């Protein structure tokens, strides 16, 4: 009986086992087919895990703040500035370099330490209006750069100092070349300094006279530059202020918007003519107020705000019996928009140490306006 049913049992087992195997094999093949089809829709290669797309960072605009050597390093708004220009080192006629005492060097070192925490660059300004040994810096500076030996010495001292103090570059403040000869000396100095700074990744900037009359809007010919020299600079800082001295003294001509607009027109046309990028140009604004009485001292932007916070929204105010003219927030915004609309490289402050603290800071205001031109999705300066 058992022997008779054994062949039938074997047949049943073979049939059931084949059905189960076939089902498993069919499902496996179906799964493989689906996976292959999904891959084929994109590539024959197995795709790697995709990273979140990183948009290219735009070239950020600079906000350069000159800082005088006696300012307290802890009171500078490093987070808003891209560059701090420490002012000033003084050139001697033989090409040697002077700093304004040990306290100046101490302040500089503290500024460098603080600036690095915010990725802010620190440069050294050479020159300025007054010399530590008395009188204008002009004669000292001219003597130093008009002779090849003293010019070479000054270049060497500046480069050595920037390396020793871990600075990011040099700013030239030989502001008013008074002849074609002086302009050539300045061009030679800029060329030699650039050749020494660039291999070490250091920047070179220059502060330049506005070259435009604040009243007539015409070119000032008593200041002479050799245009070809601007190729050596990373930043050309336009001193678009102190127009009150053009012609008869008028404090209202300190730095009105129309004056800045004429200055921007002049310099952009010059740079376009010579094939230089407008991005080198940096529009300067004053952080001080000019009194209508020339015998009275200027006052800082901070003093204006401390007197009354509402002064931030004005361009002139009467204080202590005197009317002062300055750039309030609306004018500073308008000038920043002007710089951006004309493809300038950014803005400059003379000087950052004069600014108000807190919500009425002109530095923070301008920094915010500059950042608006950068897409906040992929770049926010910290």
pLDDT exceeds 50 at position 13: no
Q: Does the residue 4 lie in any domain?
A: no
Q: How far apart are CA 158 and CA 95, in angstroms?
A: 10
Looking at the chain, how many residues does it have?
382
pLDDT exceeds 60 at position 7: no
Give the pLDDT confidence score for residue 183 in this predicted structure. 98
Q: What is the dihedral of CA 24, 27, 28, 32, to 10 degrees?
A: 170
pLDDT exceeds 70 at position 32: no
Q: Mean pLDDT in the chain?
A: 87
Confidence category of residue 44, pLDDT binned at 50, 70, 90: very low
| C-beta separation of 311 from 233 below 8 A | no
Q: Does the residue 14 lie in any domain?
A: no
Question: Does residue 46 or residue 88 have the better pLDDT?
Answer: 88
Query: Both tokens of residue 167?
Result: 């600075």
| C-beta separation of 205 from 236 below 8 A | yes
Give the pLDDT confidence score for residue 373 in this predicted structure. 75
Q: How far apart are CA 225 and CA 159, in angstroms?
A: 24
pLDDT exceeds 60 at position 321: yes
Q: Please give the model's pTM, rounded to 2 decimal places.
A: 0.83
Query: Both tokens of residue 186?
Result: 């300045």
Q: How far apart are CA 232 and CA 197, in angstroms?
A: 11
- pLDDT tens digit sequence for 273-292: 999 999 999 999 999 999 99
Structure letter (DSSP) for residue 46: P
| Crossing angle of helices 138-146 and 180-197, rounded to 10° | 70
- pLDDT tens digit sequence for 333-343: 999 999 999 99
Expressed as residue numbers, the domain containing 153 is 62-289+326-371
- pLDDT tens digit sequence for 230-277: 999 999 999 999 999 999 999 999 999 999 999 999 999 999 999 999
* CA-based nearest residue to 122, from 107, 142, 102, 136: 107
Q: Does the residue 270 lie in any domain?
A: yes
- Number of domains forming the structure of the chain: 1
Q: Does the residue 143 lie in any domain?
A: yes
Q: How far apart are CA 90 and CA 92, in angstroms?
A: 7
Separate counts of helices (H) and strands (E) for the chain: 9, 13
74 class by beta-carbon count within 10 Å (0-12 exposed, 13-18 middle, 19+ buried): exposed
Give the pLDDT confidence score for residue 57 in this predicted structure. 35
- pLDDT tens digit sequence for 181-190: 999 999 999 9
Give the pLDDT confidence score for residue 372 in this predicted structure. 87
Percent of the chain's residues with pLDDT above 70: 82
Q: Does the residue 48 lie in any domain?
A: no
Confidence category of residue 87, pLDDT binned at 50, 70, 90: very high
| C-beta separation of 283 from 264 below 8 A | yes
Confidence category of residue 374, pLDDT binned at 50, 70, 90: low
- pLDDT tens digit sequence for 125-162: 999 999 999 999 999 999 999 999 999 999 999 999 99
3-state secondary structure of 23: helix
3-state helix/strand/coil string of 320-343: CCEEEECCCHHHHHHHHHHHHHCC
Confidence category of residue 119, pLDDT binned at 50, 70, 90: very high
Q: What is the CATH number of the domain that holds 191?
A: 3.20.20.80
Provide the 10 A C-beta neighbour count for residue 194: 19
| C-beta separation of 224 from 180 below 8 A | yes
3-state secondary structure of 240: coil
Q: How far apart are CA 75 and CA 158, in angstroms?
A: 26
Count the helix, strand and coil residues of the chain and give each as a percent rounded to the nearest 5: 45, 20, 35
Q: Are strands 281-286 and 288-291 parallel, antiparallel or unpaired?
A: unpaired
Q: How far apart are CA 82 and CA 260, in angstroms?
A: 22
Q: Does the residue 132 lie in any domain?
A: yes
Give the pLDDT confidence score for residue 376 in this predicted structure. 52
pLDDT exceeds 70 at position 18: no
pLDDT exceeds 50 at position 56: no
Q: How far apart are CA 283 and CA 236, in angstroms?
A: 9
Average pLDDT over residues 217-222: 97
Confidence category of residue 30, pLDDT binned at 50, 70, 90: very low
């Amino acid at each position: 009986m058992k022997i008779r049913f054994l062949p039938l049992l074997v047949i049943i087992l073979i049939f059931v086992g084949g059905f189960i195997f076939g089902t498993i094999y069919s499902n496996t093949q179906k799964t493989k087919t689906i996976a292959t089809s999904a891959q084929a829709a994109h590539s024959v290669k197995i795709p790697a895990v995709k990273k979140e797309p990183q948009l290219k960072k735009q070239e950020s605009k600079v906000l350069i703040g000159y800082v005088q050597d006696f300012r307290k390093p802890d009171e500078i708004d490093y987070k808003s500035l891209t560059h701090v220009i420490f002012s000033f080192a003084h050139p001697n006629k033989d090409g040697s370099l002077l700093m304004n005492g040990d306290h100046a060097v101490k302040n500089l070192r503290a500024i460098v330490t603080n600036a690095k925490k915010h990725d802010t660059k620190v440069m050294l300004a050479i020159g300025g209006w007054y010399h530590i040994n008395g009188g204008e810096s002009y004669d000292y500076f001219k003597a130093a750069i008009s002779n090849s030996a003293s010019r070479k010495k000054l270049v060497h001292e500046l480069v050595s100092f920037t390396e020793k103090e871990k600075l990011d570059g040099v700013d030239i403040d030989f502001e008013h070349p008074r002849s074609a000869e002086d302009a050539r000396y300045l061009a030679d100095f800029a060329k030699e300094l650039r050749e020494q700074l660039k291999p070490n990744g250091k920047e070179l900037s220059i502060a330049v006279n506005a070259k435009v009359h604040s009243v007539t809007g015409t070119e000032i010919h008593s200041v002479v530059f050799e245009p070809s020299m601007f190729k050596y600079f990373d930043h050309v800082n336009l001193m678009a202020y102190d127009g009150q001295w053009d012609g008869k003294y008028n404090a209202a001509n300190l730095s009105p918007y129309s004056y800045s607009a004429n200055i921007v027109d002049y310099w952009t046309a010059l740079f376009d003519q010579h094939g230089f990028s407008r991005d080198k140009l940096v529009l300067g604004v004053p952080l001080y107020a000019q009194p209508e009485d020339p015998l009275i001292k200027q006052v800082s932007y901070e003093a204006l705000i401390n007197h009354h916070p509402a002064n931030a929204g004005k361009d002139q105010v009467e204080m202590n019996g005197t009317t002062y003219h300055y750039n309030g927030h609306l004018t500073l915004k308008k000038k920043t928009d002007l710089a951006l609309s004309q493809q300038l490289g950014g803005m400059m402050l003379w000087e950052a140490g004069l600014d108000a603290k807190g919500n009425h800071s002109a530095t923070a205001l301008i920094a915010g306006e500059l950042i608006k031109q950068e897409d906040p999705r992929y770049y926010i300066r910290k």
